[in-house]
Amino acid sequence: MTENPRRPAAPRRAKALPPWSLLAAGAVAGGLLGGTYGAVKAPVYSATAYVVAVPTAKSDPASALGFAQAYGRVATQLAVLGDAQVWAGVPVNTLRQNVQTATSPDAPMVAITATSTRADLAADMANAVSRSLTQHAKSSRSATNVELQQFARAVRPTAPSSASTTVTALVGASAGGLLGGLAVLVRPRRGREEEAVRPAAVPGPALAAEAHGAL
């Protein structure tokens, strides 16, 4: 009886990576990208000046509070920034893009915050806008019966207000891990489907003949 040639062994299927590997890969990649962004990006400094609305003898604190809200809205308008650019030494567009104001519903105070990649320039821009705003308020004091005075000058910041490299790396790792988790959820599950549709093994002709002869 001739020996049957051995059937070639089926190639082993590569084992699928565990689900947690996508989470780890996403977190590592996001952390690297976030850390690189934090290291490459220039630090940003913030400086804040404060002005306060003071009522005259013909007005009351409620009016001062209302005008403080109004002055907070006009502080970044062209009429104020046009004069501030001379004292700050920067164009109007730079002030418009990097100066923000905030007011309080309980206190007649306006906070003027400027940001820049230079600490000294951030303080100069904030002080320039506060000075210009008080000058405009002074010119209309007879009509408003409210005087705007400087409460605190902006000082040169000693530390950047932008996120550090560690923070950006952590944020990137969190975002990368989240994307990795979403990839795990949407990944198609082929294990059981392939087992269900896999055809049953059929013995070859030589094996069938041997089995018949054994009977």
pLDDT tens by residue, 141-190: 888 888 899 999 999 988 886 555 566 566 766 776 677 667 667 766 65
Statement to judge: residues 120 and 88 lie in one domain: yes
Number of domains in the chain: 2
Statement to judge: residues 115 and 30 lie in one domain: no
Across 136-145, 186-195, 202-211, the highest mean pLDDT is recorded for: 136-145
95: CATH: 3.30.70.1130
Question: Does some domain include residue 76?
Answer: yes
Mean residue pLDDT of the chain comes to 77
For residues 1 and 92, what is the distance between their CA atoms, to the nearest angstrom? 100
Question: Does some domain include residue 1?
Answer: no
Task: Could you list the beta-strand ranges (E) of the chain.
Answer: 45-55, 99-103, 109-116, 146-152
Alpha carbon separation from 22 to 34, 112, 127, 159, 176 (Å, rounded): 18, 46, 50, 37, 10
- pTM exceeds 0.75, yes or no: no
Question: Does some domain include residue 11?
Answer: no
Domain that includes residue 122, residue range: 45-152
Statement to judge: residues 51 and 144 lie in one domain: yes
Statement to judge: residues 37 and 118 lie in one domain: no
Average pLDDT over residues 28-50: 74
Statement to judge: residues 92 and 137 lie in one domain: yes
For residues 102 and 68, what is the distance between their CA atoms, to the nearest angstrom? 10
Question: Does some domain include residue 77?
Answer: yes
Statement to judge: residues 30 and 69 lie in one domain: no
H helix intervals, 41-111: 61-74, 78-88, 92-98
For residues 116 and 100, what is the distance between their CA atoms, to the nearest angstrom? 12
Question: Does some domain include residue 72?
Answer: yes
Question: Does some domain include residue 5?
Answer: no
Statement to judge: residues 56 and 93 lie in one domain: yes
Alpha carbon separation from 97 to 80, 168, 189 (Å, rounded): 14, 23, 50
